[in-house]
């Protein structure tokens, strides 16, 4: 069984809002010092899901996991992180032709790469990326490859040629079932992710990372990047959000708590 996990490098969401700046010309975040690119947290959960599937498999030796990503420079760091978690192989789509691609072009490039990686039984991705917050690409891959898709997985069980997915749908439990090959997107409800250990990190250095360009996956350069845009960012700006904090102080916790309780009562919260 071959699982491909699609991962995206994103600006570290754990930064303080005060270091967040936009490059209005480039219409994206300004990567100032201190703003590093990390694996999209939802995609990290998808990697975790792949590793769990392998661990729970009766025949875990036959399960191989490939991570697939796109982007310059940072993508290798993201792949190495996944390899150190136990993934077997990494592929990155790196070429200037891919730069500034929209979700439509990205999904087509990733789908083409997945076809090149065939046979693939399961494609996993996070439910969405935390920078663009859209959740388009994973589902796009499913449509392009004509595969069934299930979103928002919080638990995945394999049973022969079938996959059973418990979904995080808010108002209870829902299980969906489909036949492999399939695309599944993973929600944060899947649970905590593992961290790289020393042994796997050492092993990761010996694992293969391949770099592919448009010609390797057979996509036309004219359909990618800036020239292929179907979705145009006209403008990007930082919304003004100004709140003046009223500091509540007093001699001891009880005194401050009294003031806060009074404020809450004033605003009719209690």
For another protein, the binding residues in 34-93 under the rule CB under 8 A are 41-42, 45
CA distance 117 to 4: 8
Minimum CB distance to another protein smaller for 94 or for 228: 228
Contacting another protein (CB under 8 A), which of 26, 32, 227, 236? 236
CA distance 119 to 99: 28
Closest CA to 175 of 161, 156, 192, 194: 156
Contacting another protein (CB under 8 A), which of 107, 113, 114, 123? 107
Minimum CB distance to another protein smaller for 96 or for 175: 175
Q: Which two tokens stand for residue 67?
A: 């991570």
Closest CA to 99 of 229, 264, 235, 233: 229
CA distance 153 to 263: 41
Find out whether 184 and 153 touch, Cβ atoms under 8 Å.
yes
Find out whether 110 and 93 touch, Cβ atoms under 8 Å.
yes
Binding flag, residue 239, another protein (CB under 8 A): yes
CB 3 to another protein: min, Å: 17
Binding flag, residue 246, another protein (CB under 8 A): yes
CB 122 to another protein: min, Å: 13
Closest CA to 45 of 159, 188, 223, 217: 188
Binding flag, residue 199, another protein (CB under 8 A): no
CB 55 to another protein: min, Å: 19
Q: Which positions from 133 to 162 touch another protein by CB under 8 A, shown as an x/- string?
A: xxxx--xx-xxx---xxxxx----------
Binding flag, residue 20, another protein (CB under 8 A): yes
Count of chain residues binding another protein (CB under 8 A): 87
Residue 181, preceding peptide bond in cis (omega within 30° of 0): yes
Binding flag, residue 33, another protein (CB under 8 A): no
How far does the chain reach from its first CA to its final CA, in angstroms? Answer: 56
CB 210 to another protein: min, Å: 26
Phi, psi (rounded to 5 degrees) for 211 = -115, 120
Binding flag, residue 237, another protein (CB under 8 A): yes
Q: Position of tokens 């250990």?
A: 197
Minimum CB distance to another protein smaller for 94 or for 150: 150
CB 250 to another protein: min, Å: 9
Binding flag, residue 178, another protein (CB under 8 A): yes
List the beta bridge partners of residue 70.
93
Piece of 22-30, 58-66, 67-75, 115-123 that binds another protein (CB under 8 A):
22-30
CB 166 to another protein: min, Å: 8
Binding flag, residue 196, another protein (CB under 8 A): no
Find out whether 69 and 9 touch, Cβ atoms under 8 Å.
yes
């Amino acid at each position: 069984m071959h699982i491909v996990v699609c991962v995206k490098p994103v600006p570290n969401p754990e930064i303080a809002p005060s270091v967040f700046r936009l490059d209005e010309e480039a219409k994206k975040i300004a990567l100032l010092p201190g703003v590093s690119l990390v694996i999209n947290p939802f995609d990290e959960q998808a990697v975790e899901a792949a590793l769990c599937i392998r661990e729970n498999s009766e025949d875990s030796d036959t399960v191989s996991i490939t991570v697939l990503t796109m982007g310059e420079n940072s993508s290798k760091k993201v792949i190495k992180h996944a390899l150190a978690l136990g993934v077997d192989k990494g592929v990155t789509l790196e070429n200037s032709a891919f730069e500034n691609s929209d979700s439509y072009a990205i999904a087509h490039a990733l789908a083409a790469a997945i076809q090149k990686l065939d046979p693939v039984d399961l494609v996993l991705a996070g439910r969405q990326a935390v920078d663009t917050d859209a959740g388009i690409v994973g589902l796009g891959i499913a449509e392009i490859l004509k595969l069934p898709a299930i979103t928002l997985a919080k638990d995945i069980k394999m049973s022969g040629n079938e996959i059973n997915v418990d979904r995080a749908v808010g108002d209870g439990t829902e299980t969906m079932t489909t036949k492999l090959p399939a695309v599944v997107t993973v929600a944060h409800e899947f649970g905590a992710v593992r961290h790289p250990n020393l042994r796997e990190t050492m092993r990761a250095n010996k694992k293969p990372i391949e770099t592919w360009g448009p010609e390797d996956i057979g996509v036309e350069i004219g359909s990618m990047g800036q020239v292929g845009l179907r979705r145009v960012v006209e403008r990007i700006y930082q919304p003004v959000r100004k709140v003046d904090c009223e500091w509540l102080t007093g001699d001891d916790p009880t005194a401050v708590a009294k003031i806060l309780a009074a404020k809450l009562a004033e605003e009719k919260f209690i």
